Amino acid sequence: MSRSLSAGALKLALATAVALVSAGGALAATAASASPHAAVAKPPPVDHQLCYRVTGTGFKIPPKVVLKDQFNRKGFRVKIGKVVVHCNPVKKILPDKVFPITNPNAHLACFRITAPKQATPTVIVTNQFGRAKLRTGQPNLLCLPSWKSLTGPPRKKAPQPPGLSHFTCYPVRVATGSYQPPPNIMLQDQFAPKPVPVKVNRVPAELCLPTEKIVGKHVFKIVNAADHLLCFPVTKTPIKPRIWDQNQFGTAKLAVQKTNWLCLPSKKTVVHN
C-alpha cells in the first residue's frame, strides 16, 4: 500500500513539475514578445517613381519647417516655395523582370526649397542601373507623401498615405563611374492604360534622401531610412491634364505639364564630407 502511494505521489510531482515548466515557458515567451527589444517589422520597400512637372496653388505652407536627413542630422530650416513636381509609383518592366508597385496609394508632391548652405558630401549610389560616385549640390526640393486623385479632391481622413517617407532632394553630377539603363525599359503608372517604352538618360539629375520633417512640435519620422531615390531624365509618357494631391500641406489641384524623371530605389554611402 505504501509503495502504491509513493508511486502515485511521484507521478503527481512529475506532472506538477511539467506543468510549471510549460507555464514558465509560456510566460517567458509572452515576456519576450512584450520586450522593447522584440523584432521590429521590416519597413516597406520604396517603389520606383515616375515624376512629372506640375503647377498649382492651394497648399498652405507652414512658416517654420525643419528638415533632418543623413547629410544634415542636426537639421536645417527651409523656405518652401511652389509645388513643381508630382511623382506616381510606377511599374518598371524589363524583358526578363518586372518591378511591381507595392504601395499604389503613396505618391509624392515636391516643392521648391531654399535653405542656408548645407553639408553636401560626395556619395556612392548603387541601384539597378549600376554604381557611381556623385557630387551633390544644395538641397532644392522637399517631397511629401501624398494622396492623388484624377477626378477631384481625395478627401482622405489621414493627411498622407502610409508607408512612405518624406524626401529632401539634392542635385547631383557624376564624379566617377556611370549608370547604364537597359535599352528596353517599359513603364506603366496611373496615367498609362498600358506599358509605354521609354529611354532613360544615363546621367542622374537628383538624389533624394529620406527625411524627418519637423513643424513646430510635430515630428514626422522617416519610414524607411535605407532606400533613397536617384532620379534620371526620361522620355515622355502619357499624362493627365489635371490631378488633385492631398498631403500635410492641404489639398491642391495641379496642372500636369510633362514627364520629368524616373526615380529608382537606391542605396547610398557617404565617402567624403
pTM of the shown model: 0.85
pLDDT in tens, 218-259: 999 999 999 999 999 999 999 999 999 999 999 999 999 999
The pLDDT of residue 15 is above 60: no
For residue 44, the model assigns a pLDDT of 82
Q: How far is CA 64 from the centre of its chain?
A: 23
For residue 272, the model assigns a pLDDT of 72
Q: Rounded to 5 degrees, what angle do the CA atoms 192, 193, 196 make?
A: 55
The pLDDT of residue 25 is above 70: no
Instruction: Return the domain boundaries, the chain.
Output: 1-39, 49-272
Q: How far is CA 271 from the centre of its chain?
A: 23
Per DSSP, the three-state class of 206 is strand
The pair phi, psi for residue 37, each rounded to 5°, is -95, 10
| Range in 24-28, 174-178, 195-199 with the lowest mean pLDDT | 24-28
Percentage of residues in the chain having pLDDT higher than 90: 81
Using CA atoms, how far residue 84 sits from 130, 144, 172, 258, in Å, is 28, 12, 18, 11
For residue 229, the model assigns a pLDDT of 98
pLDDT in tens, 75-111: 999 999 999 999 999 999 999 999 999 999 999 999 9
| Range in 18-32, 33-47, 173-187, 209-223 with the lowest mean pLDDT | 18-32
Average pLDDT over residues 246-273: 95
For residue 16, the model assigns a pLDDT of 44
